[in-house]
Structure 1
Amino acid sequence: MKTLTLLRHAKSGWDDTVSRDFDRPLNAKGRRAATIIGRQMRTLSLAFDHVVASPAVRVVETLDEIVAGYGRTLAPDWDRRLYLASAGTILDLVRDLPRGVDRALVIGHNPGLEDLVLLLTPDVTHPFRDAVEDKYPTASLAELQFDIDDWDDLTSGSARFTRFVRPRDLDPTLGPDAD
């Protein structure tokens, strides 16, 4: 059995004057959301054999805040291919994970993460899948399980969607901003 956890970076600041999208930092709400998700990861006793993350500034800062809440060090492999990656690119990266890795955490961006969840889960009514179809918010965590021995055996629709945690589920003030 393999478990794949997909984490979208936390909310970034659009009002920061950075010259490249890659360098956009988190805003205050994003920092809070990431810390709360980290605490939830600790509460749920989530553990990972391998972590892969986009090296974008907002992902690096998300990981810092996750670790603050989680209380454990996560030493990711920084992989530039994850920056704004498509579902297909992320799937290729996951299929290349070492066979001995049973619990992987991938931290990246949308729409690739959302598209990957929808690709890997059966297209049936399911509360978590329905929520992702609606929106995969920043700092949200999706957990998928597979009855496979090798990551290379991942196929469309083969995942069991076991968990979807959004920051607003833990703190309503982290929900969508009012217009």
Structure 2
Amino acid sequence: MKTLTLLRHAKSSWDDAVQRDFDRPLNAKGRRAAASMGRHLRGEAMAFDHLVASPAVRVGETLDGFSSGYGRLPDAVEDRRIYLASAATLLEVVHGLPTAASRALLVGHNPGLEDLVLMLVPAGGGSRGAVEEKYPTASVAEMLFAVEDWADVRAGGGELVRFVRPRDLDPTLGPDED
């Protein structure tokens, strides 16, 4: 049995005058959401034995905030392929996870993460409808796979057992009212 948890980076700042999208930092709400999600998953006794992440600045800052609430995480393996990746590319990353890892955390971006969940979980499975509606920043999806090797993870072969959005934990972390 393998467990794959997907964490979308927290809300980033569009106000910062960085030159590249890759370098965008988190905003204050994003930092709060990352820490809140970390606290929540710690409280749910979730554990990870492997972590792979996009090297984008907002992902690194999300992990910093997340770990401040969660506690110690495995050292992150940065994989450039995750940056703004498609679901197909993310599935290649999953297929390459170490066989010895049973509970992997992948941290990246949308729309790839949302599309990966929709690819891996059959229609009508768990909270799939909520994922179809929107996979907000700092949200977590946890899927189970009845496989021994990550290379055997296939489309429609997952069970979505958890989908948590920051607003589920704290309404002030929900969408901004404009």
Q: Normalising to structure 2: TM-score of the pair?
A: 0.98
Secondary structure in 2 matching 1:74? coil
> How far apart are 1:123 and its partner, in Å?
1.3
Which secondary structure does the structure 1 equivalent of 2:26 belong to?
coil
What one-letter code is carried by the residue in structure 2 that aligns with 1:46? M
1:170 counterpart residue number: 169
Could you tell me whether the CA contact under 8 Å between 1:67 and 1:74 is conserved in 2? no
- Quote how far apart the aligned CAs of 1:73 are: 3.4
Which residue of 2 is the match for residue 57 of structure 1? 57
Structure 1, residues 29-85: CA drift from partner, whole Å, max 9, x if none? 000000000001110111111100001000000000000000223311011111101
Kindly report which structure 2 residues correspond to 1:152-171, keeping only aligned pairs within 5 A, or say none.
152-171=151-170
2:160 and 2:62 mapped to 1: Cα distance? 23
Q: Measure the CA separation in 1 of the matches of 2:126 and 2:33.
A: 22
**Are the aligned partners of 2:126 and 2:159 in contact in 1 as well (CA < 8 Å)?**
no
Give runs of ≥4 in structure 1 deviating > 3 Å. Answer: none
Task: Report the RMSD for the aligned CA atoms in angstroms.
Answer: 0.8
Structure 1 alignment gaps of length 5 or more: none
Structure 2 residue matching 1:122: 3-state secondary structure = coil
**Deviation (angstroms), 1:127:** 5.1
2-structure distance, mates of 1:127, 1:120: 12
Structure 2 equivalent of residue 142 of structure 1: 141
Match of 2:89 in 1: 89
Are 2:129 and 1:130 aligned?
yes
Matched to 1:123, the amino acid is A
- The whole-number CA distance in structure 1 between the counterparts of 2:152 and 2:86 is 19
Secondary structure in 2 matching 1:160: strand
Q: Structure 2, unaligned stretches of length 5 or more?
A: none
Instruction: Kindly indicate whether the alpha-carbon contact (under 8 Å) linking 2:48 and 2:73 is maintained by their aligned counterparts in 1.
Output: no
* Alpha-carbon distance in structure 1 between the residues aligned to 2:161 and 2:145: 10
2:18 corresponds to: 18
Deviations 1:130-168 (A, max 9, x none): 000000000000000000111111111110110011100
Alpha-carbon distance in 2 for matches of 1:97, 1:127:
24
| Cα contact 2:139–2:164 (8 A) shared by 1 | yes
Equivalent in the alignment of 1:31: 31
